[in-house]
Amino acid sequence: MRVQGIAALVTGGASGLGLASARRLRGQGAHVTICDLPDSRGADAAAEIGARFVAADVTSDAEMQAAVAAASEGGTLRAVVHCAGGGGRAGVVRAVERDGQPGSLAAFERVVQLNLVGSFNVLRVAAAAMARAEPIGRERGVVVLTASIAGYEGQVGQIPYASAKAGVIGMTLVAARDLASRLIRVCTVAPGIFDTPLLARLPEEVRASLGAAVPNPARLGDPDEFALLVQQIVENPYLNGETIRLDGALPMAPR
C-alpha cells in the first residue's frame, strides 16, 4: 500500500518510536493523526510535523473509538501504528530477603492492561473502521503493533511486561488470519534497545554499555530505523502475520 495520501493513526505518537513513525509517515505524504495521553506533548509534536493530535487512552473503548473517528476525518483510515505502552517491574515474590510476600497483582494487571489489552483494543477498533472501507487492490488496511524482544526473553523482574509483550506476539498471526477475509494485514515489530527519551535519562556510560552489548551494529537503535520498518510493512502487501525482531541480533541477558 502506498503511504502517499492515506490516513494513518499513530498511538503513543508524542515521543520515541511513535513520534518517529508519525514523522516518517507524514514525510511520505500520509495524513497523520497522533494519539497520546492528554498530559503528553502530543499537541506540540503534531504541530512540529504537520499532523493532528487527539488525546486518548488506548485502554478506553470510547476514547479509541473517538481517536479512530478523528483519524478518519483526514481520509479513509488505512494504517494504524500502535506504539503506546510502558513497563513496570514485579517479581513472583517480593525481595525474598526482606519479607517474602507475593508480588503485586495490581502491578501485573496494570502493565498487562496497558500493553496487551490496549493493543487488542486498538486493533479491534481500527480493524472495524478499516473493514468498512473500499479496498485498494487487494487491501483495505494494515495494523502494526509493537511488542519487544522481552516477549521472547524477558529479564528478571519483567514478568508483567514480558508476559504482555509475549501476548502481543501471540496475537499477531491469529489476528492476521482473523482479518484476512477483510483484506486487513497485521504485523508486529519487536524492538530491542532504542535511543528513546526513556533511555536519555540514563548516564552516558550506561547508555554506551547498553549499545556495546548489541552484536551488530554495536549501538542503540535509532527510532527512525523502527519507523523505516513500519513504512516497509505498510508498503509491502505480502508482509502479514509476522513479528519482526529489530534488535541488531541482541541476546537479552537474564538481568
Backbone angles phi, psi at 165, to 5 degrees: -70, -35
Residue from 53, 108, 161, 194 carrying the catalytic annotation: 161
- Residue of 87, 48, 84, 53 whose CA lies nearest to 67: 53
- Cβ-based neighbours of 65, under 8 Å, separated by 6 or more: 125
State the Cα–Cα distance between residues 46 and 22, nearest whole angstrom. Answer: 9
Task: Mark whether 161 is an active-site residue.
Answer: yes
Backbone angles phi, psi at 200, to 5 degrees: -65, -20
Q: 241 is written with which cell numbers?
A: 502475520
Please, are residues 8 and 71 in contact by the beta-carbon 8 Å criterion?
A: yes
Q: 203 is written with which cell numbers?
A: 548516564
Q: What number of other Cβ atoms are within 10 A of residue 69's Cβ?
A: 13
Residues acting as catalytic residues: 161
